[in-house]
Structure 1
Amino acid sequence: MRVQASCASCLEEEEELPATHCCSSCSLALCTYHAKKHERNNHVVIPNNSKLDESYNPVNTAPLCKDHFIPINCFCSNCKMLICSSCAVSLHSAHQVSLISEIEATVKKETVDELQKFIIKSEEWSQKHQLDENNLTECVTKVRARGEELKKQIHSKLDELMNDLKKREQQLLVDLDELVDNQCNIVTSIRNHHEIVEDLKRELTSILSMNGYTLMERKINKFKQTMDSFELISTQVGNFISLENIDKFNIEQFETNEISSKIGKIGKIVKILPFPTVKHCFANGEKILEVFKDNWNIYKISPEIFNVEDRKIRNIKFKVHQLVQGSNTWCIIFGIVNSSSRLDTYLSENGYGLIFLNGQKSCSGKGTPFLSPMKVGDVVEVIVQNNSLLFSINGDDPKVAFDNLPNFEYTFGVSICAKHAKLEII
C-alpha cells in the first residue's frame, strides 16, 4: 500500500502540502519549498516523488508513524514517547520534544553510564550474596532436596491418618457384624422355640399316661427350660415391639463433612522468612546496625538463643548514633524477643523491651516509665538476670522493666521503625 505524507514544516504553519522530500539526517518529511530551506542546515535531503510507502525508510532505522506515515524522528520527554515530527507539532506541541538525531550522542553516553553502574551493582550484589553459578546450582539442589524431605513427611503423616481411619473402619465393621449376628441369633432362637413348642404339643397328649417319675422329670427339666427360653425370647422380641423392627439399626455420629473440612485444612506449605540479621561494619572494630526502613522490623543482634530460667546473667549494650523519626514516635525498642517471632510485629508483642522516645521519657513495653529521657548519643544496656529484664541508661543503676518472664526461647534484638537509625553494638 502506498500512502501520502504531509510536509512537517507546513503542518507547523497550519498548512498541509504533500511531502516531496525526506531528510536523511533527521527523517523530516518536507515539501519542495521547505526541502530547499532545510538543506541550509547541512542536512542531506532526498527527493521521493511526493510519495512514501510503508517500507520506505531513508535511514533504515526508524519505523513509520501509524498516524502520519512518516518516520519517527522525535522524542517527547513529557510522555516518554517516540513520535514523528507531525505528532510533535500537533498532539505534543506544548511538550518538550527533541530530535532523536540531536540527543542521540547524549543518550548513548547516559545509557552506557547507567548500564555500567547497573552491571557493577549487580555483580557486587551477586558477590555479596554468593550468587555465582555453582552456588545457584547448589541452591536448586538444596531446594529440591528439602521438597523431597517434606514430601516424605507429608506421606508419613497422612499414612498415619489413613491407618487410623482404616483401624476405625475395621472396628465399625466388627461392631456391625456383631450386631447383625445377634439379631439373626434372635430369629434363630425363635425358630428353635417354635420347634420345641411343637414337640411339647406332641408330648401333651401323653402326659395322662406318664408315670410319676417321667412326669416330674419332664416338668423339672424340659418343660422348665422351654418356659425359661420363651421368657427370654419374648423379652428380646418385646424390645423391638415386633419383628418388623429387628432390622432397624443405624450408624450414629457418622457425619464426615466436618472431618472432611478439617482434613482439607491439614498442613500448609509456607515459606519461612528469616530474621534480617545485623550487617556488621568493621570500621574501627565496631559493629554497626544501620536501618532505613519506616516500618517495624525485628533485628536479631546475637546468634545466641537462651532460656531465662537458667538464671545466667546476659547483657548487651547499644549506642544510638543516629535517629531520624519516621511515622511512629516509638522509633526503637531494645530488649529480648521470642526467637520464633514474626518480623512485622512490635517487639513488645512477641518479647519484652524498652521503648526509645527521642528526647522524651522512655518506657517499657508495658508502659513502665523510666525517669530519664533517652536521646541520640545515649548508651542502653539490656540485662537478663534472675528471670527478669533490666535496663541501664548511660551507666546508671539497672532498673527492672519486667520480671517473671515467661519460659520461652529468647534472643537479644531490637525493633526499629525509623527513616534512619544507626546503632553501635558495643
Structure 2
Amino acid sequence: MAAPIAIPDRRRSEERQNGGDRDELVRNLSFLSGPHIITVQSLRSRAAGPPTPDGARRATGAEVTVQPPSPPRRAAAAAAGGEADVEAPLLAPAAPPSAPFELPVAGGEDYTRLRRRIAFAQGLSWVVNIALLVAKVYAFVLSGSKAVMASAADSAVDLVSQMVISYTDWQMTRADPRFPVGQARLEALGVLGCASVMAVASFEVVAQSGEALWSGFAQGEPPQLDLGLTLYVVLGAAILLKAVCYAVCVVLQDKSDSMLALAEDHLNDIASNLGAVGAAAATAALPEAWWIDPVSAMLISAWIMWRWYSIAVTQVHKLVGRGAPAEFVEQLKELADAHHENLALDCIRAYHFGSRYLVEMEVVLPADWSLRQSHDVALLLQHKVEALEDVERAFVHTDYERRCEPEHKVERTLGLGGSGGGGSGVFISAAVTPATTPEPAVA
C-alpha cells in the first residue's frame, strides 16, 4: 500500500514563523506582474493592523514595488528536499510600472495637511465674519442705507451658513456604525442648506428695498441716509478682509465642497460691499437720486440669489448621481488598460457619490485563471482607482466574457441596454477579446 501523501498545513507552519502573514500577502501578489514578484515594503510598521479572530492582520496600506524575478521557489524547495508551498509566477510578463505604486492610507500625511488647511480657512472665516457683522450692523444703524443692510444680512447669513458647514464637516470625519460607507454626502447637503438660507435672506432684502422705493415714489417719503466717513471705513475694511479670506478658501474649493461654499460666501460679500460703497457714493453725490441705494440693494441680492442657485443645482446633481465628465472616464480607461496585459476592459461607470465619484468597472480576465489570480488582479486595480483624488469608492467586477444583456435591475427597468448603457460617465468597449493564460501543471 502506498504511503499517504502528507499535505502541509500552511497556516500552522506560517504561524510558527515570524511574519508569516506578510509572506502570505507576498504569495498572493506574486503573480501580479508576470515573472516579476511584487513585494510589500514596511508591512509590519505601515500595514499591520490589529489581529482578527482568524489570526491574520488587516492591512491598512502598503507600498508595492516591483523586483527582478527570482528562480521558482517551488523548484528550489523541492530540490532541497523541503516543503514546496509557494508556486512560481503564473502570468505572462507585464510592463513594470514607471514608479512604485503606494496604496492609499487613510489619515495619511497629505490628508492631514489638507484637513489642517481647511481648519485654518474655517477658523479665519469665523473670526472675520463675526467682526464684520458687528461693524456692518453699526454702519447700518448710523446710515440707514439699504445697500449696507443687504451687506449686513449677507454677513449674518454667512455665520449661519458656516455653522452648517462646520457641523457637516465635523460629521463627515466621525466613524458611525449606522453609516457603513461614511457620511461624505453630508457636505453636499450642507452646501444646499447654505444656498437655501442665503436665498431667503436675499429675498427679504429685495422685499424691504421694494418697500423703500414704494414709499419714496408713491408716498413722497424717500429714505433719509447719513453717509459719513465711518460707513466707508467699515465697508472698505470688509472688502480687504473678505478678499484675504476668499484667497485662502478658493485654492481649496476643488478639494472640498465646504471650501467652495465659503469661497462663494466671501465673493458675495466682496460684491455686496463694493455695491454698497458705490451706492453710498452715488447717493452722496446726487441727493435727489435717493433711489440708487434701494435699487443697488435689490441688484446685489438678485446677483447673490443667482449665484447660490447655480451652486445648488450643482450640488443636487452630485446627490442624484450625475455622471463624471468624459476626461475623467478616459483617465480611468487608461489606468485600467495599463494595469495588466491580460486584462480587457469591458465597461466603466463613474458617477457622483456626493462631492466625489463612485466608480464601477467591469473587466474580462482569462477564463482559465484561478479565483485567486482574478481576485488579486482586480483588487490591486481597485486600489489604484481609489487612490485617485476624485474617487470616493470603487468596485471592480471580473468576468470571463462580455455580457450583452443588462446585469442590474435599474438597467432592465430603464432600458439602458447591456453593460449599463452609454452616456455621461460611462465607457463601453466596442469589442472584448479575453486573453488566455493557462495555468501550468503542478508536479
Query: Normalising to structure 2: TM-score of the pair?
Result: 0.21
Which is higher, the Rg of structure 1 or of structure 2? 1
